């Protein structure tokens, strides 16, 4: 028998859960929904469900009472069924993920469940059937905001990420010890999928062009991403005005907000940089901004070649299926350096 849906109590919702389990960029873009719910129901207990590797994005947000981090070894079917019991006291669940996992977590809950539409078919048309002339997919911020429409509440502005006091103090100390003399340009050369990544020689050329203009450069990435770029690493090691930082996410966030501008792929750090108030030069390879994931907010520069084969994937591929990788190879370092100059002077 289908469980009876619980109506909101007369005084408003008492316990609200927002579900967005991954990835980094999507968790960042979910924050305006969190803040809209907090404004509408300031007395409610508000919690966020997320995989533990992305929990730091929301951990320091004062709007949240609790972050439910899903451990890596507890995501099997039976684990999720067991975890779903933790949602039973909620009277509102906002599912911004719409995955099999979040559907399992919300299955048979008595709380009202609101979901964001994924526009899966339209996105797929952009990749596989552009001849059908699909309209652009609404930005993820808009899709998430629409999930709140049945409640009559709206989100306000782009996301903002809190890094926490410890990370903010650490970033201050990092920059004081380095003393580059002016805010650095942040370069973020990592991305999970190979076809989203700009070639290493282009990053190295960009680094050299910025250094030649006297701009300090701060490379930010995972340690594994740094190891995968040995030539860039060697170049960074030899320049006094360059540092490479592979610290934890809150620390990278704190450094980003102290930078002059950022250059990123279509990646989680692109959304994190924008959510720390930075103007971003975003390099799109095998994806495209029309899929709904351009950096949020004003002032960004989105560089996308719009090759005939682009976008060839929703999320990225291990290799270019055409072999030429023109979408990224033809994005020239000189053009990126010019875009940076317009943001960072």
The contact set with ligand SF4 (CB under 6 A) reads 195, 285-286, 307, 309-310, 312, 320-322, 324-327
Contact 217/207 with Cβ under 8 angstroms?
A: yes
Q: How far is the CB of 312 from ligand SF4 (least distance, A)?
A: 3
Cα separation values, 301 from 141, 327, 337, Å: 18, 16, 12
Q: How far is the CB of 324 from ligand SF4 (least distance, A)?
A: 6
Structure tokens at 245: 């930082």
Q: What's the rounded Cα separation, in Å, for the pair 210 and 215?
A: 5
Nearer to ligand SF4, 35 or 193 (CB): 193
Contact 257/275 with Cβ under 8 angstroms?
A: no
Q: What's the rounded Cα separation, in Å, for the pair 3 and 136?
A: 38
Reduce the DSSP state of residue 77 to 3 states and report it.
Answer: helix
Q: How far is the CB of 130 from ligand SF4 (least distance, A)?
A: 12
Cα separation values, 162 from 176, 255, 257, Å: 21, 12, 10
Sign of the dihedral defined by the CA atoms of residues 167, 172, 174, 175, in that order: positive
Nearer to ligand SF4, 260 or 331 (CB): 331
Q: What's the rounded Cα separation, in Å, for the pair 239 and 234?
A: 9
Q: How far is the CB of 134 from ligand SF4 (least distance, A)?
A: 16
Neighbour count for residue 116 (Cβ, 10 Å): 22
Q: How far is the CB of 139 from ligand SF4 (least distance, A)?
A: 21
Q: How far is the CB of 196 from ligand SF4 (least distance, A)?
A: 9
Cα separation values, 144 from 51, 95, 214, 275, 290, Å: 18, 9, 41, 16, 16
Nearer to ligand SF4, 4 or 308 (CB): 308
Nearer to ligand SF4, 283 or 344 (CB): 283
Nearer to ligand SF4, 168 or 266 (CB): 266
Q: How far is the CB of 289 from ligand SF4 (least distance, A)?
A: 13
Nearer to ligand SF4, 336 or 344 (CB): 336
Structure tokens at 94: 């906002």
Nearer to ligand SF4, 159 or 285 (CB): 285
Cα separation values, 138 from 219, 256, 283, 332, Å: 31, 27, 20, 29
Nearer to ligand SF4, 42 or 321 (CB): 321
């Amino acid at each position: 028998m289908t469980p009876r849906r619980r109506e909101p109590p007369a005084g408003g919702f008492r316990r609200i859960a927002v579900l967005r389990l991954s990835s980094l960029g999507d968790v960042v873009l979910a924050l305006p929904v969190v803040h809209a719910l907090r404004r509408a129901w300031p007395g409610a207990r508000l919690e966020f469900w997320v995989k533990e590797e992305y929990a730091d994005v929301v951990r320091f947000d004062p709007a949240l009472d609790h972050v439910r981090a899903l451990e890596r070894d507890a995501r099997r079917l039976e684990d999720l069924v067991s975890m779903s019991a933790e949602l039973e006291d909620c009277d509102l669940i906002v599912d911004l993920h719409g995955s099999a996992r979040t559907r399992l977590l919300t299955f048979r809950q008595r709380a009202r469940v609101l979901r964001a539409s994924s526009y899966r078919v339209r996105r797929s048309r952009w990749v596989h059937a552009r001849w059908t002339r699909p309209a652009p997919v609404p930005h993820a911020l808009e899709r998430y905001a629409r999930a709140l429409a049945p409640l009559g509440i709206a989100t306000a502005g782009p996301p903002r990420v809190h890094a926490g006091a410890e990370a903010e103090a650490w970033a201050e100390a990092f920059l004081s010890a380095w003393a580059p003399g002016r805010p650095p340009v942040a370069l973020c050369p990592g991305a999970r999928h190979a076809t989203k990544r700009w070639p290493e020689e282009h990053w190295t050329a960009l680094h050299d062009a910025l250094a030649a203009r006297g701009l300090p450069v701060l490379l930010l990435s995972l340690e594994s991403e740094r190891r995968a770029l040995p030539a860039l690493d060697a170049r960074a090691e030899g320049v006094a005005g360059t540092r490479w930082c592979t610290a934890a996410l809150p620390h990278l966030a704190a450094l980003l907000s102290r930078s002059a501008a950022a250059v990123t792929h279509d990646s989680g750090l692109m959304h994190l940089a924008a959510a720390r108030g930075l103007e971003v030069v975003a390099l799109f390879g095998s994806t495209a901004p029309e899929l709904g994931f351009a950096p949020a907010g004003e002032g960004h520069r989105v560089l996308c070649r719009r090759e005939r084969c682009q976008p060839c994937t929703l999320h990225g591929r291990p290799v270019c299926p055409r072999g030429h990788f023109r979408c990224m190879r033809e994005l020239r370092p000189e053009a990126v350096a010019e875009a940076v100059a317009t943001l960072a002077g």
